[in-house]
Amino acid sequence: MSISEESRQARDANFNMNRRDFAKVALGGAALLASVGRGSAKLPPLPSGIKIGTYTRNPTDGNMLYLRELGVKWISSSDTTPETATIEGFTRMRQRWEAGGFRVYNETGRMAPNGNAVINVPEIVLNLPGRDERIEEFLNYLRYLGKAGIPYMTYGFEGNGNWRSGQATLPRGYTTSDCDLSSPNFHGGWGKTVYKEPLSHGRVFSSEEIWDNFRYFMKKVVPVAEESGVRIGIHPDDPPQPVLAGVPRIFSSFEGYKRAMEIANSPNVGVCLCVGSWLEGGSRMGADPVEVIRYFGTRKKLFKIHFRNVSSPLPHFTETLMDDGYYDMYKVMEALVDIDFDGLVIPDHVPELGTAGAGGDAAGQFRPSPGLAYSLGYLNATLKAAMSNRRNRVSTDPGVAR
């Protein structure tokens, strides 16, 4: 599945942003910028600067030592169980990590105390029976995070989950997730539910139905998010197909995100840019990842970055290591440095390398993960290079923002 240099350059060319087009987009977003800043909203300040972190769990002395050795300071904690999805549970989790010298940016279980998922909920996305009860579970989740001192959460608004077709082995020898729209194994899933074509929920839904449901949801969510002081970053659809199994996916384009931000109209609701998911859509997304960063980042609507690459855009892609896909990921880090991004950047969907994996043994200990170490090394190296490049540009060009 190697990609020729010619095809790499062609795909890169498709993403090169026209400066005039960008200016038009920026002017078009002026109304969005002006609307931000409700008097009732509260956003606890975050330390300045890009925060390199990772998903992790179980803050034992050994696990924390390993993460410190890798240079990690910020955590997306995956320790949550239904029993600990409470104010007290989230608070204890945060305090355990802080005792080891880390900061918790978010938790990734995203579940209610009854075990229900609070993201990618069909009842909410599709207006199925039980919608208001499931929304209330999410509102309580936001309240718990705020009272526990956790400043952020990632939200998914998919009616039938993420879709893949299996596994594939890259030319370098590692095996990762594969997505081929033409595969007979192509299917969706979230939690324990599996979705398949042609209709995942018995009928075809219209895009305006989904937008109406999102509008209804935001009217409930925004006041609670603002009162709780929690940032919500909405994740792109994965994969970003316009429709899957009869269900439109509204977070599959730049225009969709702009419309969603206008509906939410809150400083607490922004973007979790999964670069990998964005690249899956290719030029059909309507914007290069760098353009997305500059547009939403300068409006303080960009909260978290999932740093991931893929082999090619749809209709068929395989997830890759950061330096092994079709996009130059350095450009992502350079753009984040240029806009003074102060959110979290994490390796995402890290492939396992060699014989060790990123999972845990029976005692919950990490096994050393070469894939995670490789990815964090890449992130830190690109951050240092982008910072150095910016300093050099500032010293030679007074017009570059300091």
Q: 400, 393 in Cβ contact below 8 A?
A: yes
Of 354 and 170, which is predicted with more confidence? 170
> What's the average model confidence in pLDDT over 224-233?
98
- The model's pLDDT over 182-219, given as tens digits with 9 standing for 90+, comes to 999 999 999 999 999 999 999 999 999 999 999 999 99
User: 37-78, pLDDT tens digit by residue?
Assistant: 454 567 889 999 999 999 999 999 999 999 999 999 999 999
Q: Collapse the DSSP code of 26 into the 3-class scheme (helix H, G, I; strand E, B; otherwise coil) and give the result.
A: helix
How many domains does the structure of the chain reveal? 1
Angle between helices 289-297 and 254-264 (to 10 degrees): 20
**Mean pLDDT, range 220-236, rounded to an integer:** 98
Q: Is the confidence at residue 2, as pLDDT, over 60?
A: no
DSSP E strands, 186-301: 187-190, 193-195, 231-234, 243-244, 247-248, 269-274
Domain annotation covers residue 379: yes
State percent of the chain over pLDDT 90: 75
Please give the backbone phi and psi of residue 189, each rounded to the nearest 5 degrees, phi first. Answer: -170, 150
Residue 306 lies in a domain: yes
Q: Which pLDDT does position 390 carry in this prediction?
A: 85
Domain with 205 in it: 5-29+47-393
Q: Would you state the pLDDT for residue 40?
A: 58
Model pLDDT, residue 353: 84
Inside any domain, residue 378: yes
Ramachandran angles phi, psi of 339, nearest 5°: -95, 5
Which of 157, 172, 171, 88 lies closest to 118, judged by CA? 157
Band of residue 396 on the pLDDT scale cut at 50, 70, 90? low
Is 215 domain-assigned? yes
The first and second tokens of residue 40, run together, are 């009732």
Residue 398: per-residue pLDDT:
53
Residue 18 has pLDDT above 70, yes or no: no
- The answer to whether 260 touches 31, Cβ cutoff 8 Å, is no
Long-range contacts, 236-239 (Cβ 8 Å, 24+) = 236/273, 236/274, 236/277, 236/278, 236/281, 237/157, 237/158, 237/277, 238/158, 238/162, 238/163, 238/274, 238/276, 238/277, 238/280, 239/162, 239/163, 239/179, 239/277, 239/280, 239/281, 239/314, 239/317
Tell me what pLDDT residue 371 has. Answer: 85
Residue 41 counted as domain residue: no
- The pLDDT of residue 147 is 97
81-107: pLDDT as tens digits: 999 999 999 999 999 999 999 999 999
How far, rounded to the nearest angstrom, does the alpha carbon of residue 343 sit from its chain's CA centroid?
12
Residue type, 159: G
> And the tokens for 20?
């005039």
DSSP for 215-228, please give it: HHHHHHHHHHHHHH
In Å, the largest CA–CA distance within the chain is 61
Would you state the pLDDT for residue 44? 87
pLDDT in tens, 300-319: 999 999 999 999 999 999 99
Considering the chain, what is the average pLDDT of its residues?
Answer: 87
In this predicted structure, the answer to whether residue 401 has a pLDDT above a threshold of 60 is: no
pLDDT in tens, 355-379: 544 444 444 555 567 888 888 888 9
**pLDDT tens track for 243-263:** 999 999 999 999 999 999 999
Q: Whole-angstrom Cα distance, residue 217 to residue 140?
A: 14
Is the pLDDT assigned to residue 241 strictly greater than 50? yes
Segment 122-180, tens digit of pLDDT: 999 999 999 999 999 999 999 999 999 999 999 999 999 999 999 999 999 999 999 99
5 token code pair: 């240099």
Buried b / exposed e along 317-350 (16+ C-beta atoms within 10 A): bbbbbbebbbbebbbbbbbbbbbebbbbbbbbbb
CA 349 → CA 103, 111, 372, distances in Å? 21, 20, 10
pLDDT score of 397: 63
The residue with tokens 């893949």 is: 164
On whether residue 280 sits in a domain, the answer given is: yes
pLDDT (0 to 100) of residue 367: 59
What is the pLDDT, as a whole number, of residue 42? 76
> Cβ neighbours of residue 78 under 8 Å, at least 6 residues apart?
55, 56, 57, 107, 108, 109
- Segment 334-353 shows an average pLDDT of 94
CATH number assigned to the domain comprising residue 63: 3.20.20.150
Residue pair 260/250 in contact by the 8 Å Cβ criterion: yes
Q: What is the pLDDT of residue 400?
A: 54
pLDDT value for 370? 83
Q: In the prediction, which pLDDT does 369 show?
A: 79
Q: Tokens for 248, please give them.
A: 């439109």
Say if 12 falls within a structural domain: yes
38 part of a folded domain: no
